[in-house]
Amino acid sequence: MRGVIPSFLLAALALAAAATVPGQSSTPNEATRILEKAQAAVLGETASYTLRMTVHRTGKSPRVVTMEGFKSGDDRGLVRYTDPPKEKGTVYLRREENTYIYLPAAEKVARVGPKQTFGGGDFNNGDIFRLSLTRDYEATLAGEEAVDGVPCHVLELKARNRGVAYDRVRYLVRKDGTFFPCLAEYFTISGKKLKVLRSDEIETLGGRKRPTRMIMESALESGASTELKFLKIDDRPKLDERMFSPASLERER
């Protein structure tokens, strides 16, 4: 993408001093509405998908992992590695506020935090399993900006609590009616930029157009980036809700 998951996958920045475009509403309700539409533009309320993750590091060969994922509302998500063979069967589960990992080699389930790295790349667990931005962040509309020549809304997101992965996010959404997310910048509470997320490669998957590629670039490590590419998406899957429980991970054995 020169530039999304991920839902799956988005961001943090201070909302003080941003200039509002004349005639553009800056009410929290308008900002929240845009944020909700941006989330829905990538994955539906319920979804199943196939995803390829490619981790890039300077001087190293790319690391590629293929996985299948499932989403049920804002509280439940599951990702299972399907390739390479040595990592096949690794499972991440998000249920309500908790995230778990099952490691086949260790044959055990462990709880992990939202700020821990996902799969050794530049996304963390909070990026992958942030199933509701509107619940985790308070959004303010702060003007507009062009990304690759495309006019975008600029949303400033402030974390509602310290439990989310980032304190502040600057989140850009296309103004052309698609509400596709384009760019997100993630910041610490002190204002230091950590990462930049770019969403692109608009393609038809699951019967509708949407961004299919997200690239997370580290602002702290030169040459470090991770690409997530959606290969398949189904917005109307029939899911067994029992899969979204720690007990189901035990059965992975």
Residue 102 lies in a domain: no
Q: Give the pLDDT score at 223.
A: 94
Is a pLDDT exceeding 50 seen at residue 249? yes
Q: Give the pLDDT score at 14.
A: 29
Lowest mean pLDDT among 93-102, 174-183, 243-252: 243-252
Residue-range definition of the domain harbouring residue 164: 28-63+121-237
Residue 77 lies in a domain: no
% of the chain exceeding 70 in pLDDT: 87
Is a pLDDT exceeding 50 seen at residue 19? no
- Please count the structural domains in the chain: 1
From the list 17, 149, 5, 163, the residue with the least C-alpha distance to 71 is 5
- Contacts of 146 by beta carbon, 8 Å cutoff, 6+ apart: 152
Is a pLDDT exceeding 90 seen at residue 91? yes
How much is the pTM?
Answer: 0.84
Averaged pLDDT of the chain: 87
Residue 232 lies in a domain: yes
Residue 209 lies in a domain: yes
Task: Please write down the long-range contacts of 186-195, taking CB distance under 8 Å and 24 or more positions apart.
Answer: 186/11, 186/12, 187/12, 187/13, 187/14, 191/14, 193/219, 194/166, 194/218, 194/219, 194/220, 195/122, 195/219
Residue 168 lies in a domain: yes
Is a pLDDT exceeding 50 seen at residue 184? yes
Is a pLDDT exceeding 90 seen at residue 185? yes
Please write the tens of the pLDDT for every residue from 197-245: 999 999 999 999 999 999 999 999 999 999 999 999 999 999 999 999 9
Distances, alpha carbon 190 to alpha carbons 103, 158, 161, 217, 221, in Å:
35, 13, 15, 20, 19
Residue 86 lies in a domain: no
Contact (Cβ atoms closer than 8 angstroms) between residue 198 and residue 181:
no
Q: Give the pLDDT score at 3.
A: 43
Residue 23 lies in a domain: no
Please write the tens of the pLDDT for every residue from 47-58: 999 999 999 999
- CATH number of the structural domain spanning residue 146: 2.50.20.10
Residue 95 lies in a domain: no
Is a pLDDT exceeding 50 seen at residue 9? no
Q: Give the pLDDT score at 164.
A: 80
Q: Give the pLDDT score at 252.
A: 62
